[in-house]
Structure 1
Amino acid sequence: MVTNKRMKSLVIVQLAGGNDAMNTIVPYGDGLYYDWRKDVRIEQDQVLKINDYLGFNPALSSIRDLWDQNKVAVINGVGYPEPNRSHFRSVDIWNTAESVGIGDSGWLGRAIREIDPNAENPITGVNFGRGLPRALSCKGVPVASVGDLENYGLLPDIEGEQSRELALTAFSQIYGSAMAHDTVSQFIGETGIQALKGADILRTAPQKYSSSIEYGNDPIGQSMRNIAQVLTADIGTRVFYTSHGSFDTHAAEMETHTKLWTETSNAIGDFMEDMKEHGLEDDVLVLLWSEFGRRIRDNSAGTDHGSGGVSLIVGGEVNGGLYGDYPSLKEKDHLQGDLQFNNDFRSIYSTIAERWLGVDPDVVSNGQFEQHSFIR
């Protein structure tokens, strides 16, 4: 169901591959950082200073500008008990908010179900990218997955509304007949019809969009532009998802990490400026996360899988600042060579669920977790 009332929207940006937290929010004021990092490090004179101890990697200059406007919350030491250094397992833990067993639904899928319990709007949740992230999966919850918004939809080359209606009717009849058979066929039929409806709604978004912002021509820049197109079209989408990477910097980290963060930071800066231009910056919250951090000690030109990461929250209604202590770099405080976590990532989910989306935080975060104050 599409409503005229402006609702709060959530944008998730996954930094796929395991972002190096130490080279994102840099503890330049701690000599141990330079002792542990002989090669893969940001020199003091390059750091965009937050205080006398921490600063942003210079590649995050656009995000630093938003920080100066009090629109960025930095959550230090993010993780979960008994961290797993496997990409697949750790991503699944973040996606499902289940760190012990194997979760059967995604945290965002559960949030969408709370927002739209009757699945009236097939595009309450939209993923920009290939496949469907586990975070968005949930039984009975339709989610659209878009590769290229400009060419998305059912036979987009069909011209004329009458021709389109005929095509939609034909495809609906095909899926409708499938629903008359067994349970699996019914599921396929229902999913197909929801996809048809979603595709036909989403195809209108680029036509409605007008902006003076020129996004980067890289994947994350174009994904954020697509999100802006759908968000400003006001067609009822509340949850957006995209990813960028790979941040799995075992080698050539200085070049790769700098490139990826420059693209990501610029895309976030452009997106927030776009939202401001459309009067929407107070209605959008952006969460940037990665499945884990990297090891404290570098391995010549790169870093290996670690724990203790960092998440960023961006938005006009964000209570900007640092949240949580930066993990100690002293060897006695290491977790097998990694940063210790001191902020459970599910506290972020719980905060967003209740204070931003207005849904049950315990359902979304899969338990009860202490909340942050990063939303005004």
Structure 2
Amino acid sequence: MQPNDMPTLLTRRTFLGRSACSAMSTTCLLNTILTLRQMNAQAADVLTPGTPYKAIVCVFLYGGNDSNNMVMPRESSAHAKYAASRTVLTIPQSDILALNTQNDNGLNLGLHPSMTGCRDLYNQGKLALLTNVGTLIAPATLQDYYNGTAAIPENLFSHSDQQMQWQTSASTMNAAYNQTGWGARMAEALVGGQERTSVSMLVSLNGTNFFQVGKTMLPFRPGPGGTPVFRLGQGSSSQDVTRYTAFRNILNAEYANLMEDAFADLSNKSIVEADTINTALQGTSNFPTIPNSGLGEQLRVVAKMIQAQGPLGITRQIFFVATGGFDTHGPQLGDHANLLGGVSAAMKGFQDGLESIGMGNAVTTFTASDFNRTFDSNGRGSDHGWGGHHLIMGGDLVGQRAYGSFPDPDITVSGNPLDTGRGRWVPTTSVDQYAATMGKWFGLSSTQIREVFPNIVNFDADLGFMKPVS
């Protein structure tokens, strides 16, 4: 690099902004510190003080959930078609949980028998179904797919690619969008030029993810019991106090080397941040309605942070939780039942917990997954598919309804208009539409929605499953 190519003044802020991602991959310690980045360094109160709090919670089901057995038709003729196509994966009609639905085009849709919690939420109007949603660039027909004339997402049926596309809503290698997640883009759009506050908008309880990676923001990552703290010398002995004081003095010093200076700055601020959050979490409920499962423990911390949002002074947050095991090539029936039962129990317990603290209407929780699976069986399980069905939960829903277009479950004869082969459905609703509908509820303007979601210009931006914003 020539001398005149180097900026004459590289500030700490500029350095941090340019080097955060590379630094995260350099050392485990710096990665930990960066994920404990200071509340003042990346978050903002996007609305005026006193604005009602809202949160969005993504529940990602890693592996590709077979939602063909999560949402099923109970109407006799439709179930007969379903059974003829699913063969060994069929859930008996009498076992499917009935839903008191308001609109499902006579299909009498029901849920997997292990999902009693979600059934109860649905019948209470706190859960909705979104059917046949998937990664899309523009509306596509089966003929478009076969002819190669539609802008079909790249690398369909690939776990890593479809996880990335679901979490970024970028179904091409468009560098302007596929390097950032739509959760982070929503947060950054809302931040704009507003004054910064004391807590991150993005919180991940399941490590790194595409969904929350932004241009200027990365997720804050608390542990199961709260925020991890670097506890060097934080004992009560004189030696502990001396060591701790010396360590803080080192971190408070100014350094000529930008890496040293940035490291010290982030380390020092992360200690203060961790203490602030842990103090706020100490006064929160243990949320006994939430089960002690892997997903449940993640949602318990989410609930605690939501309860602490008042003292922490933030009005908008986006959370990411996840659970895996959904790549059910076989054996599927028993394993999948356990997985769905765990998701249902955790979601029901989480919603009940939110309602116990008066936040049931303030939070919208939704599921996402790599893809659906093939409608036919491979003999023991199912294989990678495309469009699938998802759950949306919260008190601000127009719930107790099925949205989208449910595929004809008959793949035993030719002519199914959505079957690309083996019951891999061409989606009729896009991830962009799913996300944009929640984005509008969250506070994004029409202009911001078009900026955040690259393909929304090709679709209806509001699917109607959220109540109108007052």
Residue 210 in 1 paired to residue 295 in 2?
A: no
Cα offset, 1:152, TM superposition: 2.4
Report the TM-score when normalising by structure 2. 0.72
CA deviation map 1:138-182 (0-9, x unaligned) = 12214212332346233299367x98998599468548756x545
**Bigger radius of gyration, 1 or 2?**
2
CA distance in 1, matches of 2:247, 2:450: 42
In the other structure, the counterpart of 1:78 is 133
Kept in 2, the 8 Å contact 1:109–1:141? The answer is yes
Cα offset, 1:208, TM superposition: 1.3
CA deviation map 1:28-61 (0-9, x unaligned) = 4322211111111211010012364421111111
Q: 1:60 to 1:38 in 2, by over 3 A?
A: same
CA distance in 2, matches of 1:196, 1:145: 14
Residue 20 in 1 paired to residue 66 in 2?
A: yes
In the other structure, the counterpart of 1:347 is 433
One of 312, 336, 339 as aligned partner of 2:421? 336
- 1:162-311 superposed matches below 5 A: 167=244, 170=247, 173-174=250-251, 177=254, 180-182=256-258, 192=267, 195-210=270-285, 213-234=288-309, 235=312, 236=314, 238-311=317-390
Q: 1:137 to 1:194 in 2, by over 3 A?
A: farther
Cα offset, 1:117, TM superposition: 3.8
In the other structure, the counterpart of 2:209 is 133
CA distance in 1, matches of 2:328, 2:277: 35
Q: 1:249 to 1:296 in 2, by over 3 A?
A: same
Kept in 2, the 8 Å contact 1:349–1:364? The answer is no
- Which blocks of at least 5 consecutive residues in structure 1 are unaligned? none
One of 75, 80, 86 as aligned partner of 1:37? 86
SS at match of 1:326: coil
Kept in 2, the 8 Å contact 1:220–1:243? The answer is yes
Residue 123 in 1 paired to residue 197 in 2?
A: no
Report the TM-score when normalising by structure 1. 0.89
Kept in 2, the 8 Å contact 1:293–1:309? The answer is yes
Range with greater deviation from structure 2 (79-88 or 66-75): 79-88
Kept in 2, the 8 Å contact 1:168–1:196? The answer is no
CA distance in 1, matches of 2:93, 2:242: 62
Range with greater deviation from structure 2 (300-309 or 199-208): 199-208
Letter in 1 for 2:421: Q
Q: 1:198 to 1:351 in 2, by over 3 A?
A: farther
Q: Percent identity?
A: 23
Kept in 1, the 8 Å contact 2:398–2:466? The answer is yes
In the other structure, the counterpart of 1:361 is 449
CA deviation map 1:268-319 (0-9, x unaligned) = 1111111111111011110111120000101122111111111211000100
CA distance in 2, matches of 1:23, 1:14: 17
Letter in 2 for 1:336: G
Q: 1:311 to 1:159 in 2, by over 3 A?
A: farther
Residue 107 in 1 paired to residue 179 in 2?
A: no
Kept in 2, the 8 Å contact 1:327–1:340? The answer is no
Kept in 1, the 8 Å contact 2:233–2:243? The answer is no
CA distance in 1, matches of 2:246, 2:126: 46
Cα offset, 1:87, TM superposition: 0.5
SS at match of 1:216: coil
Letter in 1 for 2:201: T
Residue 312 in 1 paired to residue 411 in 2?
A: no
Kept in 2, the 8 Å contact 1:144–1:198? The answer is no
One of 89, 112, 121 as aligned partner of 1:66? 121
- Which blocks of at least 5 consecutive residues in structure 2 are unaligned? 1-43, 100-105, 137-151
Letter in 2 for 1:17: G
Kept in 1, the 8 Å contact 2:251–2:268? The answer is no
SS at match of 1:38: helix
Cα offset, 1:357, TM superposition: 3.5
Kept in 1, the 8 Å contact 2:437–2:463? The answer is yes
CA distance in 1, matches of 2:188, 2:242: 29
Q: 1:73 to 1:189 in 2, by over 3 A?
A: farther
